């Protein structure tokens, strides 16, 4: 009898431990099922892209101004307007970084809210409100506008990459001149033709060995690669905004569907 009681107690203890471990597992699965993975991935991608774009762009602009002052425009009044434009762009970069840090967190919170609302709606524990649907619709509109704006920023960030690439290829051509070029000093880069500095800037262009020395400076090398990284960061941010746009649009569609008494969700969902 004592042996039977002991065996029975051990069995109950093991059963309780199994139920406890099973309960923890189900709780973890439930928590993971409530994560808006699309919004989470978009937030990580957005933060990474904005950090690359703002950080590298800020340093690259400073290096570009230093290179122009040292080699292409030695009179301060000639590039005074350019200095103001670059400083303004750097302040804009500060604003972009701050805004997207806050906006990314808000969109992630909105994703968690919508996921929770949908799950509770399916369990008949929660009713979506008109205010919640209006907030989601507002985020859809703002994300669409920001996506269009950052598409323009992405295109604009490719311009300095193109200019620096042209300068780099010119330097490479000067170091290895082709057969029909007999005088490497005839190879020049005139930045005045791009509208960066006025036509009366002195000297405005660089040729031959002077151009080769400019291409070998740390300002040129660092700025060129930083502009490439900044352009890639702008592209990553644009992709993140597209993911946000799809996620918020889907969230709004689900909330709208639930508000009309729907109980079945589609197979595509950012949370489960």
Q: Provide the whole-model pTM.
A: 0.77
Query: For the chain, what is the mean pLDDT?
Result: 77
* CB contact set of 155 (below 8 Å; sequence gap of 6+): none
The whole-angstrom separation of Cα 62 and Cα 87 is 9
Per residue in 11-41, pLDDT (tens digit) is: 555 554 554 445 565 665 555 555 677 888 8
> pLDDT digits over 132-186, tens only?
677 778 888 898 999 999 999 999 999 999 988 988 888 887 776 554 555 667 7
Q: What is the DSSP letter of 72?
A: T
At 82-128, the pLDDT tens digits run: 888 888 998 999 999 999 999 989 888 887 777 665 555 544 545 55
Are 112 and 34 in contact by the 8 Å Cβ rule? The answer is: yes
Cβ 76 vs Cβ 111: under 8 Å:
no
């Amino acid at each position: 009898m004592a042996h039977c009681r002991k065996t029975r107690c051990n069995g109950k203890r093991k059963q309780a431990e199994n139920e406890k471990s099973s309960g923890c597992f189900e709780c973890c699965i439930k928590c993971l099922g409530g994560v808006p993975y699309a919004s989470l991935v978009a937030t990580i991608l957005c933060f990474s892209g904005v950090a690359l774009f703002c950080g590298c762009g800020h340093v690259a602009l400073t290096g570009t101004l230093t290179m122009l002052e040292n080699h292409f425009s030695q009179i301060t009044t000639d590039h005074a307007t350019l200095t103001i434009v670059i400083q303004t762009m750097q302040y804009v970069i500060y604003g972009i970084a701050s805004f997207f840090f806050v906006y990314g967190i808000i969109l992630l919170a909105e994703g968690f809210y919508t996921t929770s609302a949908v799950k509770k709606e399916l369990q008949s524990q929660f009713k979506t409100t008109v205010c919640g649907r209006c907030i989601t619709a507002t985020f859809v509109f703002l994300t669409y506008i920001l996506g269009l704006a950052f598409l323009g920023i992405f295109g604009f960030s490719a311009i300095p990459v193109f200019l620096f690439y042209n300068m780099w290829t010119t330097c490479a051509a000067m170091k290895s001149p082709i057969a029909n070029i007999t005088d490497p000093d005839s190879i020049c880069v005139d930045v005045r033709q791009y509208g960066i500095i006025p036509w009366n800037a002195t000297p405005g262009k660089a040729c031959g060995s002077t151009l080769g020395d400019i291409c070998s400076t740390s300002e040129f090398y660092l700025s060129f690669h930083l502009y490439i990284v900044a352009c890639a960061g702008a592209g990553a941010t644009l992709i993140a905004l597209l993911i946000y746009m799809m996620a918020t649009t889907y969230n709004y569609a689900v909330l709208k569907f639930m508000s009309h008494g729907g109980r079945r969700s589609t197979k595509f969902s950012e949370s489960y």
